[in-house]
Amino acid sequence: MKTYSPRKFRPLSWLSMLLRGIAYVLRHWLVILIAVLVISPVGPHLLVWYTYKDYGAYKDMNDCVYLGGRGLVKRYDGDTCPVVVIIDRRIEP
């Protein structure tokens, strides 16, 4: 027969575990952010180069090529090519 041993009553043990978990995530936020940007199909992309036709004082942008977490993306956004744009890679033009 097992002898009786009293259990310690710790009502806030779940709170301490939650706070430790949050501290762990905050300590490694940069690695988690990079992983999310690589895995996610939606993310920021940076303009690498573009082509345009010159009509005197007016430039008509033809193609914009962006670099993001999943590689190069060629987009046609009309008349402008923003420097940074959020692109959803699940929707192909």
Tens digits of per-residue pLDDT, 22-54?
A: 999 999 999 998 888 888 888 888 999 888 888
pLDDT (0 to 100) of residue 46 = 92
With a threshold of 0.75, does the pTM exceed it? no
41 vs 71: CA distance, rounded Å: 11
SS3 content of the chain, % helix, strand, coil (to 5): 30, 40, 35
Residue 64 vs residues 26, 68, 72: alpha-carbon distances, Å: 36, 13, 10
Q: pLDDT per residue over 53-88, tens digit each?
A: 888 777 777 788 999 877 888 887 777 788 998 888
The pLDDT > 90 percentage for the chain reads 23
What are the start-end ranges of the E strands in 1-93?
Answer: 42-55, 58-68, 71-75, 84-88
